[in-house]
Structure 1
Amino acid sequence: MNAWKSSGARDDITGRKKFMAALPLNHEPKSNAWTAEFTTACIVFGQFGIQTRNGMNPTGYIDQFLQAFQTPDGPVHVDRAVHQDIDEYVNHIFLVYWDNQETFEKWNSSSSIEKYWGEGVKPVQDVGLWREIVCIPNDHIETIHSGENHDNGVSNFLPIKYTKVHEYWGSMRDRIQASAHDRLDTAYDKNILEPALGASSGKRIRVYPPDHICLIRTAQNWIQCSEEERKTYLELVEPTLKEGSEYIRQNPAETGCLSSKFVYEVGLTGDSLDKSCTIAYFLSLAHLEEWAKSHPSHLKIYKTFFEMLQKHNYATELALWHEVSVLKADQVIFEYMNCHSSTGLLQFAHLFAEKP
């Protein structure tokens, strides 16, 4: 049985009402940017987490995941990250991409996956396993890249092209094709987002979020930065990024944020990289837009970034990019096994416990 219902992208918008912000007349951005060209009907993005505490090194689980990703029908690209959450658990996370749904379905139903995620599997006492997997039609996702880089998420396997659709409010929405004929709204108000930390240890829990929750992976890469620029970024900008990520996680009813984590990316063998990203889910695209446009925690991020630009005479090597997608309820898997109760979307399991 498929993990979700099959659904292709919608291309024909003839005669449908436009909801896009619209590119301003004679718009000429001050900086260059690139965006991904989606040449397949959809992509699958999966986060696979191994959660530990008490300094435990889950080498065996990490090796199992790496081996599984190398099997036939495995992902086309794999990133690895580490996140220490507010409860002082360490999460070893694989961020993986498939370029089509069918290949993912074959991989997900293979015996090599069943042995570590099948119904009878139970992790050892001090280990939690979780997965958040989304199938994204190509008209429900957008990306933006500060450089013509081919190592940013989907750009590892998809082409990117120059775009003028940036540097104005609403440009993120405009880069999502479906926004031309769909408001991508949610039926829920953010005021419902009151966390409830129920018992989850030893349990296997699946959360069923509603249509149109919004996923963002927004990333920073300071590998090419000079020592002076690196120092400015790490001392001035990064603290506000971490602070903003934690603020939206702790204040869901105010921001509409369902989950947020600031992670450091590492190599597949665990070596440190000068890369990080925030991965967050919002109740809708509109909630992400509202936070980005006017919330003090995000305006502070903008302020420190422009201070960095000014300090370095607007000639920086810091690479920035993001991926934003709006998700369909029948094409997501959010599942947590023996995890603590504030992992991912678990704190909202009481709201989204049934299939929509």
Structure 2
Amino acid sequence: MESAIDTHLRCPRTLSRRVSGDYAPPFPMFVARGDKALQQVVMAYFGVQYSEEGKRPQALAALGHIVESFGLADGPVRHDLTDHVDNQDHHNLMAVAYWADPAAYCRWLRSDDVRAWWESQERLTEGLGYFREVVAPRVEQFETLYAFTEDFPGIGGVMGQCSDEIEEHGYWGSMRDRIPLSQTDWLEAGSELTVVSGDPAKGGRVIVRGHDNIALIRSGQDWMAAGEDERALYFDEILPSLQDGMDFLRDNGDTLGCYSNRFVRSIDIDGNELDESYNIGHWRSLDALERWAESHPTHLRIFVTFFRVVTGLEKLRLYHEVSVADGKDQMFEYINCHPRTGMMRDAVVPAAV
């Protein structure tokens, strides 16, 4: 058994772990490992939003264009696609992309084809909404956790390797303990979300400035290879409590420090649903996420269910990734999206001068 924090990322702790040194986890879990050369990654969520079902073919075409752009020079290492309906009854198609090199991402972003399409006036007039939510955490600012050891989704697929069984899981606070920077830093939130360009109430182009240590969680469930018994376990036991928790955060998360919560279904390029779902949550801080996880009934029900079933899982794959990022390494942009989309809901609009 080994620490979740890779050898080259360990340092003398000034902040202690949440458990004693002789703690033994109740079941095996694993984390992704990356090469020592990996310094920083990019996690990018590109969205297409529409409110009328008749717009779906147009929205899928727009999503297809975004995915096609991934094939340009310096495109992402991997990506996946999702769909969900938010609490304003808007559909949101997303391409979720990962880069292992921020410099490559910047070259891709600034390439003529990508820049011209996003900046085109057509994005304002074609009757769709668009958004880009991008964070670029350093390797010491994120952690992963898997109940399986191969074919990792998300950022784990970028890192490419797997640990042995790890120590830091199965207790409150283990998420923080797996983040290397937590050895010496409380990872506290800085400042507030602020609208720096545009007005969410008026539509058009809106840019929101983030702040240090916004926490981003992707927590997934993959039943593609699961048999009948495990599918029944997911749909009858895991999903009901999970859905309740995700709906609560979607509708009431602002009271807890959750800026945005999306429970999404994976899709293929044609919009067909796949047997996978995951939650995407942006939180004001890791501390706010921890308080909900440790004390709120909606998460305690999820946690209890997970502990009860996890040792019997064979093909049902459960995982998560959690990151924090510096404010300068975040970008939130919205084009003709409804004003409660993503970071816009909680962003402060400066008073007119």
Would the aligned equivalents of 1:261 and 1:278 in 2 still touch at CA under 8 Å? yes
- Structure 1 residue aligned with 2:187: 184
Aligned-pair identity (%): 30
Cα deviation, residue 116, structure 1: 1.6
- Structure 1 residue aligned with 2:145: 144
- Structure 2 residue aligned with 1:172: 175
Deviations 1:270-314 (A, max 9, x none): 3321110000011101111111111111012123334556xxx83
Q: How does 1:55-204 map to 2 (within 5 A)?
A: 55=53, 56-57=55-56, 58-118=59-119, 120-158=121-159, 159-162=161-164, 163-187=166-190, 199-201=201-203, 203-204=204-205
Cα deviation, residue 187, structure 1: 4.2
User: Which one-letter code corresponds to 2:30 in the other structure?
Assistant: W
Cα deviation, residue 118, structure 1: 1.8
Deviations 1:90-114 (A, max 9, x none): 1110010000111001000001111
Change in 2 beyond 3 A, CA 1:276/1:127: same
Whole-Å separation in 2 of the counterparts to 1:112 and 1:138:
30
SS of corresponding position for 1:19: coil
Would the aligned equivalents of 1:79 and 1:268 in 2 still touch at CA under 8 Å? no
- Structure 1 residue aligned with 2:49: 51
Cα deviation, residue 23, structure 1: 4.9
Cα deviation, residue 63, structure 1: 2.2
Would the aligned equivalents of 2:192 and 2:211 in 1 still touch at CA under 8 Å? no
Q: How does 1:264-283 map to 2 (within 5 A)?
A: 264-283=265-284
User: Which one-letter code corresponds to 2:33 in the other structure?
Assistant: E
CA RMSD of aligned residues (A): 2.5
Whole-Å separation in 1 of the counterparts to 2:295 and 2:192:
18
Whole-Å separation in 2 of the counterparts to 1:149 and 1:84:
31
Cα deviation, residue 247, structure 1: 1.0
Cα deviation, residue 11, structure 1: 5.7
1:30 is the counterpart of 2:11: no
SS of corresponding position for 1:251: helix
- Structure 1 residue aligned with 2:14: 18
Would the aligned equivalents of 1:207 and 1:352 in 2 still touch at CA under 8 Å? no
Would the aligned equivalents of 2:222 and 2:275 in 1 still touch at CA under 8 Å? yes
User: Which one-letter code corresponds to 1:178 in the other structure?
Assistant: L
Would the aligned equivalents of 2:16 and 2:183 in 1 still touch at CA under 8 Å? yes
Whole-Å separation in 2 of the counterparts to 1:154 and 1:187:
25
User: Which one-letter code corresponds to 2:85 in the other structure?
Assistant: Q
TM-score, normalised to structure 2, is 0.87
Cα deviation, residue 352, structure 1: 8.2
Whole-Å separation in 1 of the counterparts to 2:281 and 2:313:
29
TM-score, normalised to structure 1, is 0.86
Would the aligned equivalents of 2:128 and 2:336 in 1 still touch at CA under 8 Å? yes
Change in 2 beyond 3 A, CA 1:18/1:64: same
- Structure 2 residue aligned with 1:193: none
Structure 1 unaligned residues grouped into runs of 5+? 1-9, 191-196
SS of corresponding position for 1:278: strand
Whole-Å separation in 1 of the counterparts to 2:136 and 2:308:
38
User: Which one-letter code corresponds to 1:215 in the other structure?
Assistant: L
- Structure 2 residue aligned with 1:6: none
SS of corresponding position for 2:315: coil
Would the aligned equivalents of 1:123 and 1:129 in 2 still touch at CA under 8 Å? no
User: How many pairs were matched up?
Assistant: 333
Change in 2 beyond 3 A, CA 1:329/1:317: same
1:334 is the counterpart of 2:337: no
Deviations 1:196-243 (A, max 9, x none): x95143x11011122111000000111222212212311332122122
More helix, by proportion: 2
